[in-house]
Amino acid sequence: MASYSTHPGGPSGALPARSAHDEPNRKGTNDPGTVLGLIATGALAATAIGVATARARQHDRDRRPPDDAPARTAVRNRMGDYALVGKTVTINKPKAELYAFFRDFQNLPKFMENVRAITPRAEGDATRHDWQIRAPGGRTVDVITEVTEDREGEMIGWRSVEGSDIKTTGHVAFKDAPAGRGTEVELVIAYDAPFGAAGRMVAKVMQAEPHIQARRDLKRFKMLMETGEIATSQMHP
């Protein structure tokens, strides 16, 4: 996960010229439209400067050697057509205990707000599961996953298989935190968002954006593991 490159080109390349060609008809110097024209020219100039700056920044990024930060924290964050989200949280519990709770996938809806239910495909099948995920607009996305990697106490990886509504792959990794602080838990999910960028935008408005969801879900996991409950300011159950 750490070494893919965040470039190339990017969407910024498509924007500049079109607005220059679309500039409205020129009018006489005394026309009140002149003021608007000047403003429009100013706006175009600002856009041009913005685009040039963005290109310069991209060029600068392309020239730099990679750093040690996780790829998902890059300022441009894509993996081909996939969106990539990931979060790390430190939980004050031993990794064996956290792994065991997570490995029973039926526990995940307890802290994953948008996961309605996870059920084994067959009685006793610990590798293939049906996930019912809440999606924007009250819909449900069904995903079938198979466990692709399972290292006890260390890591669980999964990916979606044929018959799923979206393509997704993810892993959770557990490693000892420094200075006896418990376990660093890293959750990484790459997904092909429904309806691409527009879908993500709608989802973001509805707070179902996976990036926010991953952070919130991990924090709920932490609360449940550290305190046995999930904090709420509700006055009633």
Partner 1 sequence: MRALTWHGRHDVRVDNVPDPAIVNPRDAIVKITSTAICGSDLHLYDAVIPGMKKGDVLGHEFMGEVVETGPKSTLEKGQRVVIPFTIACGSCFFCENDLYSACDNSNPVEKQDASEALYGHAMSSLFGYSHLTGGYSGGQAEYVRVPFSDVGPQVIPDGMSDDEVLFLSDILPTGWMGAENADIKPGDTVAVWGCGPVGLFAVQSAMIMGAGKVIAIDHYPNRLRLAKELGAEVIDFKLTDVREALMEMSGGLGPDAVIDAVGMEAHGFTAGNMLDTVKQRFGIGADSADALRQAIMCVRKGGRVSMPGVYGGLVDDFPIGALMEKGLQVKTGQTHVQRYTADLLKRIQDGEIDTTFLISHHLPLEEAPKGYKNFHDNQDEWTKVVLKPH
Q: Shortest approach of partner 1 to residue 162 CB, angstroms?
A: 34
Q: How many residues bind partner 1 (CB under 8 A)?
A: 23
| Residue 231 touching partner 1 (CB under 8 A) | yes
Written as one string, the DSSP assignment of 75-117 is SS-EETTEEEEEEEEEESS-HHHHHHHHHSGGGGGGT-TTEEE
| Residue 69 touching partner 1 (CB under 8 A) | no
Asked if 129 and 115 count as a contact pair (C-beta separation under 8 A), the reply is: no
Cβ neighbours of residue 57 closer than 8 Å, sequence gap 6 or more: none
| Residue 223 touching partner 1 (CB under 8 A) | yes
Give the whole-angstrom CA distance, residue 64 versus residue 9: 15
* Contact code string over 84-113 relative to partner 1, x by CB under 8 A: ------x-x---------------------
Asked if 166 and 143 count as a contact pair (C-beta separation under 8 A), the reply is: yes
Burial grade of 173 (CB within 10 A; 0-12, 13-18, 19 or more): buried
Q: Shortest approach of partner 1 to residue 228 CB, angstroms?
A: 7
| Residue 230 touching partner 1 (CB under 8 A) | yes
| Residue 216 touching partner 1 (CB under 8 A) | yes
List, in sequence order, every residue forming a beta bridge with 156; answer none if it has no partner: 150, 172
* Contact code string over 163-182 relative to partner 1, x by CB under 8 A: ------------------xx
Q: Shortest approach of partner 1 to residue 214 CB, angstroms?
A: 12
Residues binding partner 1 (CB under 8 A): 90, 92, 181-182, 207, 212, 216, 219-220, 222-223, 226-237
